[in-house]
Structure 1
Amino acid sequence: MPTPSAVDFAAAAHAAIDRVTKEQAENVVRAAELIVGALADGGIVQAFGTGHSEALAMEIAGRAGGLVPSNRIALRDTVLYGGRPLESLEGPDLERGTESAALLWELTAPHPADVFVLASNSGVNGCVVELARLAKENGHPLIVITSAEHTARVEPKHPSGLRLRDYADVALDNAAPYGDAVLPMAGGGLACGISSITAALLAQQIVAEVIRRIEESGGVPPVYLSANIPGGDAHNQELEARYAGRIRRTA
């Protein structure tokens, strides 16, 4: 059996990207429509993911070329803003349990018009499912990015027995296989996770569709410039001021 190679992973990534582009086109449009509606009503995008799915939240909130009215929720917020001890971030308990979700909700203090984008490859850990429950209980639109294959094969950790996708208004499949890794190893097992690549693709496709709709309606999309080009900081600070107290930009 051949051992994994860079060429093999590139081929697997291209295949996953092609599949997502083809199969999720309609859901990308539906997600963009929810975000456009939220922004028009004065809302922002609340993005959250734990583990490697935090990369999805970073694609949505606070990056060059992305939407300014966006906030990245993170488990470490419970320490930075919520007074929890640093040691509480150690190990998987914070992600797998439900307790931290209530504190994250309180610290985020969502505006009624906000839309949520939650990512989890497995879609079963208690924290992200509980945050989804809170979002829907409080009337917020919810966009979910998860692995349809993986989430169907694992047991939910939330007391309700529900998965993240069960709460979604729009659920997008990142096309990652069970276990996320895609390349067989000569000694057995699989290597090289794919979900971060396809989730980033979906995030940027959604942003592109949001911008297209705003421009087609005659609006000016509130989009970040790179802070590392002349005038970037001034441009970004002017836009961020419109959402003062609602978007966090910690390191």
Structure 2
Amino acid sequence: MRRPLSGLPPRRRRLRRRHLRGAHRARLPPGGAERARTAARRALHPRPHPPRIGALVSYSYPQIALDHIARLVSTQEAAITAAVDAIAPRMIAGGILQAFATGHARLPMHEMAGRAGGLRPINLIRMQDLATRGGLPFSAVSDPLLERDPGFARQLWDLTRIDAEKDIVMVASNSGINGITVEFASIARSEGIPVIALTSMAHTTQVESRHPSGKRLFEVADIVIDNLGPAGDATLPLDDAVSVGAVSNLMGIVVVQMITEGIARRYLAEGLVPPVYRSMNMPDGDGRNAAIEAMHADRIATIEP
């Protein structure tokens, strides 16, 4: 039992008070005092933390997008790696990835070609080639129903300088049913060229093909990558009649960037410098790009600004 201070002689009383005050002080290791003061300041003036996606309660799409990307990586990595395995050796040997799509599916294909961080040996095949090099009126090329006509696939194929021995074809179509995309992929396979398809399996398996054969894109491809988009593409129903939040192009861009990374790593594994574009808006961009643009200059179409 502690003796009351009043019962102690004056000198002992002073010593006891000092002892009791020290007992209540935090014993800090060397340098701990400064850390304690810093912690105290942060407690009084906390730094704002970046909000979690779940905290963005006004918008649902960011979390939907992240969830789809996570599923894509976990379920489609093998197919994406198979695409890299097919493309990389052909590209390293001098071949070109011939990329084709119509409508909004063009965006992931465009993402691959002729851009900063992208590989040079990629040729973007566009419907407008039928007008710029094939003599078709621009008014006809702008018809959104043109993609349903398989007859124009042969014209596009003949306008494109494709090396059946070295090149490889990638075709993107969310629905996978339109005549021109199915026919283009079919022509490639008939020439013995491997075909990679980027499509939505949830969508394409619920609709009938517009190609005379009745086949859909995934049925005429050697490697199929599922973009995991739902039928109709929109992921976010706002009411019984309205859904928004399409994911096919977002997923497609993730896919083609993964393919680009994989191919570039294969170049490095072979002790080669990947022919990757530098941004033309960087000071050294034009000079660095001039060297790689000499590759396949006669077989890779210039992309409009």
**Of the candidates 287, 291, 297, which is equivalent to residue 234 of structure 1?**
287
Counterpart of 2:123 in structure 1 is 71
**Of the candidates 148, 153, 163, which is equivalent to residue 96 of structure 1?**
148
Which portions of structure 1, spanning 4 or more consecutive aligned residues, are displaced by more than 3 angstroms? none
**Superposed CA RMSD:** 1.2
- Aligned to 2:283, the other structure's residue is in SS state coil
Structure 1 regions of 5+ residues with no counterpart? none
CA deviations on 1:21-60 (whole Å, 9 max, x unpaired) are: 1000111111001111211332111111111100011112
TM-score, with normalisation over the residues of structure 1? 0.95
User: Matches of residues 1-251 of structure 1 in structure 2 within 5 Å?
Assistant: 7-112=59-164, 113-186=166-239, 188-251=241-304
May I ask how many residue pairs the two structures share in their alignment?
247
- Whole-Å Cα distance in 1 between the matches of residues 181 and 58 of structure 2? 33
Offset of residue 223 of structure 1? 0.6
Structure 2 regions of 5+ residues with no counterpart? 1-56
- Whole-Å Cα distance in 2 between the matches of residues 92 and 232 of structure 1? 36
- Whole-Å Cα distance in 2 between the matches of residues 184 and 87 of structure 1? 35
TM-score, with normalisation over the residues of structure 2? 0.79
- Whole-Å Cα distance in 1 between the matches of residues 241 and 297 of structure 2? 52
- Whole-Å Cα distance in 2 between the matches of residues 86 and 28 of structure 1? 35
Higher RCO (CA < 8 A, seq sep 6+): 1
Which 10-residue stretch deviates more, 174-183 or 84-93? 84-93
CA deviations on 1:122-150 (whole Å, 9 max, x unpaired) are: 00100000000011111111111000000
Offset of residue 92 of structure 1? 2.6
- Whole-Å Cα distance in 1 between the matches of residues 142 and 132 of structure 2? 15
Which has the greater radius of gyration? Answer: 2
- Aligned to 1:186, the other structure's residue is in SS state coil
- Aligned to 2:197, the other structure's residue is in SS state strand
- Aligned to 1:7, the other structure's residue is in SS state coil
Query: Percent identity at matched positions?
Result: 40
Offset of residue 100 of structure 1? 1.2
- Whole-Å Cα distance in 2 between the matches of residues 212 and 40 of structure 1? 12
